[in-house]
Amino acid sequence: MSKLKNVVHRDEELVFLDSFIDKDNQPDLKPNNVIIQGYQSCGKTYVVEEYFKQQKNEILSCIINHKEIFSWKNLLKEISRASLQTLRLKFSNYKVSNIIDPSGTEHFYLLVRFFSQLFSDCGQQIDEAARYSFYVVIDKIDQLPEIDVNTFPKLIKLHEILPSNLKFKLKFIYTVENVSFIDKYASYDIPTIVFPRYTADECLQILLSKKCLFKASSQFNEKLVDEIGIKDTVPRVKNQIVEAFLHFVYEAFYLYTGSNLQDLLDMAFLKWPQFVQILNNDNYANEVDMYKQSIDLWKNTQDYLEENIPGNNKLESQYDLSDLSKYLLVASYLCSYLQPKYDSKVFAKKSALRQGRVSYGRRAKFDFNPRHLSPGIFPLERLLAIFQAIYPYSDRDRNYTDEEKDDINNKHFSGLIPNTSNVEVYEAIGELISSKLLLPSKFLHASPLNSNTKWKVNVPWEIILEISSSLHFDITEYLQ
Amino acid sequence: MDLKGFSEASKTHYIVVPPPPNNTDDINVVNHQSLNNSIPFVPLLNGKESIDALTKRWELYNALNCQFHSKIDNLLTQTNQIVYEKIYKILSSKNTTTSKGIFTSLFLLGSDSNLNIPSPADTENKINVIVSLTPKESPNVRMMIKRSMFELLAIASERIDPMTYNVSENLKEITLLGVEYDLSLLKNFKNILKKDLKLIYNFKEADSFSFQVMDDFLQILKTMTTYDGIEVGAIFHVSTNLTNIEKNLRQKSIRLIKKNMHCVDLSKNKNFELTNKIFETFLITVDGKLHLSSSLLSFTLDKMANCDSKNKLVDTLIKILDYSLMFYFFNTSFSIFVDIPNLVFFNENYVKELVKCKTFQKFIEKLVETHEPSENILDLLENKHNALEDFFAKLLISQNPRTEYLFKVKNILETELHITNYNLIEIYYNLLLQNNKGENKILDYLVHNWPECANFEEKLAFPNVEIICQELFMLDNKSDLLSENLFPKMRSNIEDDLLSCDRLIPSIKVLGLDTNDENLFSLSHVMDPPSTYFFSLYREASAFFNIYDFYVAFKTCLPKDVILKYIMSHINNYKDNEDYNDATYLQVDILKNFLEENNNDKELFFDKLALIWFIQCVTEFKYMGIIKDEANTRKSLSGILEKQIWRGI
C-alpha cells in the first residue's frame, strides 16, 4: 500500500493493519475482528481514520465516535445508523425500505435483523458473484460508558449469526486503551495491533508537523505585516518563528504532559496568542531573545480560569463568607475536634463553679487512634451552643453611643444576646452546607432538620487558622 | 408528535408560580366607607385621629411605597440592561478562530441563575437557540443530551416556517420514527433544516452540577463543534468563586474552556455601588423629610454584613427600608405631614404630641435663655393665633440638613476625589455619632478611611445642629420590631406559639362562631390544642423523660371532665339532630363507636383518647425538632425521650 502522507512514525503499524484488512473483496480470508491497542493519544483513531479515508473507494467502512455514545443501546443504534448512511452513499439508487429503521435496533437480535435486511437489500444491486467486507470501526470501546461485560463478546460473534449467503460481511475494528480489557477477552484470540507510545523525538516531530495550524493564525499574520513589516510572501521567517515556538513548548512542557500530544497541542494553542504579542522587531530573528522575553509563558502551564480576565490581574472574589458564617465555621471546627465532655469546661461562662474533674467526669487516657485525626461528627445543636458561646455580641469595631451600650448590656444580662438563633444563623448554616464546608456524616437522607443526621467540618487546619485570624479570634487557645 | 407536550410530560418537576393578586392597584380608588374596614392602620393620638387623617396616612404610605419600588425596579432593570448588552455582544460575536473544536464559553459571575437570557436574533440562514440545563435535570450525560435535543427541536421547529419547509418529513431522513434525541440530530441538522445553528447551553447553578458529568459534557460540546454548520456556546452561572469551578474540572477541560473564554460580572453590588443608589433613591423618595435613627442604621449595617452573597445584600436592604417605612407610617401620627398639603389636618391633638417632643422642649428652653418675649413662647406652646402651626409649617418646608449634607459628601467623594468604594449608609451612621468633644464623627471617619479627604475638611465639615422635632420624622428600630419580624428567632417563636396558641389560631369569638351552637362539634370550644398542654409539660420536664410518666402527666393536665361532658352531650343527641353537617356527623359517629368498643367505660375511653393525642404530639414534636429518641441507644424504642437541646454548656 502507499504511504499515508499525514501519518508519521506509524509505518509498521500501518503494515499490520493493512494486512488484516480485506481489500480484494474476499471477506472470508481476513479476520472478522481486529483490536488496536495503545494508550491515550498515540494515534490509534487518527491512523485508522486516515487509512479508511484513503481507501474509501475500495473499502466500505464507517466510524463510530466514542464521544457520541452514552450506553450500549445507543451504540447499537449508532452502528446501524452509520452503516445505513455509508451504504446509502455508495448505492445512491438504493431506497430505504420501511422495515429498516436504525433507531429501532435497541437489542442485538434487532441489530441482526437490521443487518440481514440491509445487506440483502443492497446485495440486489451488485453482481451475483461479488462479495464485500463492511467495516465498522468502534472507537475506544473500553472507555464507553454503561457497557457491560457481555456487550463485547456479542459484537465479536455478530458475524456468525448473520446469514452466510449475504453479499456483505460485517467486520469490526476496535480501538482499546486498556490492556486489561483485552486480557478479559484473551480466549477469543482476536488479532491485536499494539501502538506503542511516541518517544520524545517523535513527539517533537509530530508537533512540528502541525505548524501550519499556527502559521494560519490571522493575529500572527497581521502582527508580522503591521509591526515587523514582513511581507506575507516570506514563508521562511514565519516557519522559523513557529518552529522556535513549538520547540519552546516542547522543551517546557514535555515533562509535564508526557507523550500525550493532545495536551501538548492544547498547551501550544493557549500560549500562541500571548507569544505573538511578545514578538517585535528586535527579537523575531533571534531565538534566544524570543525565549528570554517570553520566559513567563514557560514557567507555568497557565491553565487557570481566572487569569484570562483582561485588564484585571487579581479578580475580586465574588463570594465571600460573612463574619457570621465564619464564626459558625470556627464553631463547627471546634465541635469536630474537641471532646463534647469538655464543652462545659471550655465554653461555659460559669465554669469556675465546677472545676477540675468534677466538671467532666472520670479521666481516661485515650489510646491513640488515627480516627481522632479526622473530624469528629456532632449534632447541630452542639454547633449552635458553641456558636453562641464564641460569638461576640458585636463584631463590628465601632464605638457605641451610651444608649446602645445600655441596650446591649441589658440584652446580654437578660440572656437575649442578638443572633443566638435567628433566621440569619440558619441561613448561614444552609449556606455552609451547600458550599460543602459542613458535611453530613452520611449522605443518604441527610437534612439539617433530621435529628439523626450528624455533621462534620470539611475545612483543613490551615484555612480555619486563616479564617479565625481574620476574625481576630484565637482558635489555638481552645485546642491546646 | 407534539414535542412541547411530550417534553412537558417527561419533566421530573414543575415550577408553579401563584398568580398575582388582582386588586393591588385600586387601593387608592376604593371609597371611604369600605376603606374603614380594609385599612390595616389603626387611629393614633390615643384613638382621636380623624378617619380622614387615617385614610390620608394610608394613602400616603402606599403612594410612597409604590414610588420607591418603581424607582428600585427601574434601577435594577437599568443595571440588568447593561449586563444584557455585554452578554449579547459576546454571544453574537463571530468566532475569530474558526477552527473546529472551540466553543465560546461565558462565565456569569455572581449570578443567581434567574437571569433570563433571550437568544440572539436569527439570521436568514442561521438559527440561534439557547437551551437551559439545571443540575436537577442533569444526572448524567445521556439525559442532558436527550433533554437538550428535545428542547432544541421544539424551539427550532417553531422558528422555521412550516409552509416552506416540512420539518417532520425531513426528520424521517434520519429515522422513520421522525426524531431521535441524540447527537445524530445535530450531526444532520444542516441536512434536515438547511440552516446553520448556534446552540448555546445555559448551565444554571453551574457550581452545583456533578463535576464528573460536567467534565464529560464539555468534551461532548467539543465534539459538537466538529459537525457541519454547528456553532456551540456555553453559559455558566457561577454563584460562588471561579476557583470553585476550576478546582473541580480536569485540566484538559479547563484548557478547552480557556480557548475562548469570557467573563461577565453580574454581582449587582460592586463596592456598594448599588446599595448606595438604593439608599439614595429611598432618601429622595421620602423627599429628604425623614431621618433615620442610629440604631436603625447600625441594625442595617449589621444585617448587611451578615450577607454571604452580594445579591442577597440588595434584597436585605430593600426589605429593611420597606419595613421601616411601613412601621413608621403605622406607628406615627405625624407621618401624614411628610406631604405638606396635609397640614390642614393639624389640630389640638397633634399639638399635645408636638409639645411633648424632646427637641422641641430644648428649643423652647433656648428661647427662654435668650429672653425671648414670653408672649411668643406661650403662643408657641399653646398654639394661640396658630403660632405653633405656622412654626411647624416652616419646619416642614425647610430642607433636611443631613440629607443635603450626605449628597454633598457623595458629590465631593465622586467628582473631586474619585472614590467609589464608600458606603453611604455608613457615612450616614457616622454623621449621627458624636465623638468625645461632642462633635460629629463624620470628619474623623472620612479622613480615617480616605486620607485625601483631609484637604476638603472645610467643605466636609458638618455643623452639629439640633433638628427640631426630628423624633417625629425618624425611622427607627424601636422595641426591636424590625429585628423580630425580619430576622425572627425560630425556636423562641415556635415555643411562644405553642404556649399561647391564640397567637396562631384565632379564638372562637374572632371566627364569629357561637360557643353554644349545638350543631357544631368542635373540641376547641372546651380545650386548647393538645400540643399546648404537651408543651407546657415539656417545659417543666428535665432533659430526659420517661415516655410513660410523661403520658400520665399529660393525661392528668387535660380538662377531663369538661371534655367528657362535651363529648357525651353530643353523642347523646347526634342521632336525632338533623342540622349536623356530614363531617361533624362522621366525627361524632366515630367517637360513639369508639366509646362502644370500650364498653361505654368513660375512664378507659378518655385514657385512649388522651393516648391518641399524646402519640400525635410526640410525633409532631419530633418533626418540629424539639424532642428526639434518646441518644446512644441502638434500640428503636427505649422508652426514654430526650429534649433536642445541647446540654454540654
ipTM of the complex: 0.78
Return the number of other C-beta atoms located less than 10 Å from residue B221's C-beta. Answer: 20
Q: Which of residues A428 and B95 earns the better pLDDT score?
A: A428
Give the number of other Cβ atoms within 10 Å of residue B1's Cβ.
8
C-alpha cell at B544: 430526659
A58 lies within 8 A of chain B by CB: no
A323 close contact with B: CB closer than 8 A: yes
B100 with B242, same domain: the answer is yes
| B394, containing H or E segment | helix B387-397
Q: What is the pLDDT of residue A308?
A: 46
Q: Using alpha carbons only, what angle is made at residue B609 by residues B603 and B614, rounded to the nearest 5 degrees? A: 125
Is A103's CB within 8 Å of B259's CB? no
Other C-beta atoms lying within 10 Å of the C-beta of residue B235: 25
CA–CA distance, A42 with B622 (Å, rounded to integer): 61
Q: What are B282-340's pLDDT values in tens digits? A: 888 877 777 888 888 888 888 887 777 666 788 888 888 888 888 888 878 787 777 77
Please give, rounded to a whole number of angstroms, the shortest distance from the CA of B302 to a CA of chain A: 8
Among B129, B263, B138, residue whose Cα is nearest residue B185: B129
Query: Are the C-beta atoms of residues A430 and B235 closer than 8 Å to each other?
Result: no
Q: Confirm if B85 and A283 have CB atoms less than 8 A apart.
A: no
Using CA atoms of B251, B257, B259, B260 in order, give the dihedral in degrees to the nearest 10. -160
Contacts of A323 (CB under 8 A, 6+ apart): A395, A471, B305, B306
Taking an 8 Å cut-off on Cβ atoms, the answer to whether A404 and B294 are in contact is yes
CB atoms within 10 A of CB A37: 19
Task: Give Cα separations from A185 to A173, A190, A426, A472, B94 (angstroms).
Answer: 15, 9, 56, 63, 49
B63 in a structural domain: no
pLDDT band at B252 (very low <50, low <70, confident <90, very high): confident
A interface mutation test: which of B102, B113, B257, B306 has the most A CBs within 10 A?
A: B306
- Tell me which residue range forms the domain holding B412: 401-466
d(CA A198, CA A10) in angstroms, rounded, equals 9
> Shortest CA distance to A479 belongs to which of A471, A425, A362, A468?
A468
pLDDT of A136 reads 93
Tell me the mean pLDDT in the region B348-361: 77
- Residue of A107 and B357 predicted with greater confidence: A107
pLDDT of residue A314: 43
Query: Region B498-523: what's the mean pLDDT?
Result: 65
Chain B residues with CB inside 8 Å of A218's CB?
Answer: 96-97
* B493, B462: one domain: no
Q: Residue B649: which of A146, A315, A348 has the nearest Cβ?
A: A348
The single residue listed with the C-alpha cell 444576646 is A417
Number of residues assigned to chain A: 480
Nearest CA-CA distance, residue B304 and chain A, Å: 9
- pLDDT of res. B25: 45
| 3-state class (DSSP) for residue A401 | coil
pLDDT score, position A306: 67
Q: With residue B640 as reference, give the H or E element that holds it.
A: strand B640-643
**Is A309's CB within 8 Å of B183's CB?**
no
Instruction: Give the pLDDT confidence of B384-401 residue by residue, as tens digits.
Output: 777 777 777 777 777 777
Q: Please, what is the angle between helix A11-20 and helix A44-54, to 10°?
A: 60
CA angle (B36 as vertex; B31, B42 as ends), nearest 5: 135
Task: Identify the CATH homologous superfamily for domain A11-194.
Answer: P-loop containing nucleotide triphosphate hydrolases (3.40.50.300)
CA distance A361 to A352: 16
* Residues of chain B with C-beta less than 8 angstroms from the C-beta of A389: 649
User: SS3 of B529, please?
Assistant: coil
Q: How far apart are CA B465 and CA B124, in angstroms?
A: 68
Whether residues B494 and B430 fall in one domain: no
The residue-averaged pLDDT of B337-358 equals 77
pLDDT digits (tens, 9 = 90+) for B411-468: 888 887 777 778 888 888 887 777 666 666 777 788 787 887 777 777 777 776 667 7
Cα-Cα-Cα-Cα torsion B438, B440, B443, B448, nearest 10 degrees, comes to 70
Mean pLDDT of B149-169: 72
> What angle (nearest 5°) sits at the alpha carbon of residue B114, between those of residues B110 and B117?
95
Q: Check B646 against A98: CB less than 8 A apart.
A: no
Q: Which residues contact A420 (CB under 8 A, 6 or more apart)?
A: A388, A391, B489
Instruction: Count Cβ atoms below 10 Å from residue B306 Cβ, excluding itself.
Output: 22
Which of B171, B301, B649 is the best mutation test for A, with the most CBs of A within 10 A?
B649
B200 within domain boundaries: yes
SS3 B450: coil
Whether residue B638 sits in one domain with residue B505: yes
d(CA A221, CA A229): 10
Q: Which helix (H) or strand (E) holds A323?
A: helix A323-337
B281/B355: higher pLDDT: B281
Q: Which residues pair with A320 in a beta bridge?
A: none
* β-sheet bridge partners, residue B264: B108
% of chain B exceeding 90 in pLDDT: 2
**B342 compared with A193, residue with greater pLDDT:** A193
> How high is the pLDDT of residue B37?
56
Q: Position of cell 494515534?
A: A43
User: How far apart are the C-alpha atoms of A330 and A468, rounded to whole Å?
Assistant: 7
Identity at A376, one-letter amino acid code: G
- Report the C-alpha gap between A121 and B590 in whole angstroms: 75
Contacts with B610 (C-beta within 8 Å, 6 or more apart), sequence order: B551, B554, B555, B558
Q: Are B421 and B515 in the same domain?
A: no
φ, ψ (nearest 5 deg) of residue A192: -125, 130
Residue B233's beta-bridge partner residues?
Answer: B104, B200
Give the model's pLDDT for residue B527: 79
State the Cα angle at A419 between A418 and A422, rounded to 5°.
Answer: 120
Angle (nearest 5°) at CA A362 between A359 and A367? 125
pLDDT digits (tens, 9 = 90+) for A263-289: 888 888 888 888 888 888 888 788 888
Both B198 and B251 in a single domain? yes
Q: Kindly compute the dihedral angle of the four CA atoms of residues B107, B109, B112, B118, in this order, to the nearest 10 degrees.
A: -40
Q: Helices B294-305 & B310-331, crossing angle to 10 degrees?
A: 150
Is there a contact between B192 and B175 (Cβ–Cβ < 8 Å)? Answer: no
Half-sphere exposure of B44 (CA within 13 A, CB side): 20
Q: Quick: pLDDT tens for B194-234.
A: 788 888 899 988 888 888 889 989 988 888 888 888 888 89
B418: left (phi over 0), alpha (psi -120 to 50) or beta: left
Q: How far is CA B331 from CA B41, B69, B121, B342, B478, in A?
A: 9, 21, 53, 17, 11
Domain boundary among B207, B239, B259: B259
Inside any domain, residue B310: no
Query: Which stretches in chain A have pLDDT values below 70?
Result: 1-2, 93-99, 230-233, 306-320, 348-372, 393-421, 444, 480
**Is B312 inside a domain boundary?**
no
On whether both B115 and B235 belong to a single domain, the answer is: yes
pLDDT at position A287 is 84
Residue of A74, A263, A309 with shortest CB distance to B182: A74
B563 found inside a domain: yes
Q: Is residue B585 part of a domain?
A: yes
Residue B363 domain-assigned (yes or no)? no
The pLDDT score that the predictor gives to residue B204 is 87
Residues B108 and B224 reside in one and the same domain? yes
**Chain A residues closer than 8 Å to B223 by CB:** 65, 67-68
**Region of poorest pLDDT, from A276-280, B160-164, B340-344:** B160-164
CB of A78 within 8 Å of any CB in chain B? yes
Whether B295 is covered by a domain: the verdict is no
Beta-bridge mates of residue B133: B203
CA distance A239 to A471: 58
Same domain, B460 and B494: no
C-alpha cell at B144: 442532558
DSSP result, B571-606 = HHHTTT-TT--HHHHHHHHHHHHHHHHTTT-HHHHH
Beta-carbon-side half-sphere exposure of residue A438 (alpha carbons within 13 Å)? 31
- The grid coordinates of residue A474 equal 484565637
CA–CA dist B615, B28 (Å, integer): 51
Residue type present at position B612: I
The residues in A 11-50 lying below 8 A from B, measured between CB atoms, are: none
* Cβ neighbourhood burial of B168 (10 Å; 0-12, 13-18, 19+): middle
Q: Does B569 share its domain with B495?
A: yes
Most confident segment among A263-277, B83-97, B185-199, B365-379: A263-277
Mind telling me how many Å the CA of B484 is from chain A's nearest CA? 9
| Interface subset of A 324-383, CB within 8 angstroms of B | 324-325, 340-341, 343-344, 347-348, 379, 381-382
CA-to-CA separations, B256 to A203, A264, B161, B445, in angstroms, rounded: 21, 12, 36, 49
Nearest to B631 by CA among B646, B619, B620, B616: B646
Query: What order of strands is seen across the sheet that includes strand B544-546?
Result: B544-546, B640-643, B627-629
B645 and A381 in contact by Cβ < 8 A? yes
Residue A114, Cβ density class (10 Å: 0-12 exposed, 13-18 middle, ≥19 buried): buried
In whole numbers, what is the pLDDT of chain B averaged over residues?
Answer: 77
d(CA B252, CA A197): 19
Size of interface A-B (CB pairs under 8 A): 177
Q: Can you give the residue ranges of every domain in chain A?
A: 11-194, 200-304, 323-348+372-479
Cell numbers of B375, please? 408672649
Distance CA A241, CA A236 (A): 9
A98–B265 C-beta distance less than 8 A:
no
In DSSP terms, which residues pair with B196 in a beta bridge? B126
Is B107 in the same domain as B251? yes
What is the domain count for chain B? 3
> Nine-digit cell at A274?
500571548
What amino acid occupies position B616? Q
Q: Inter-chain contact B256–A266, Cβ cutoff 8 Å?
A: yes
A358 grid coordinates:
468534677
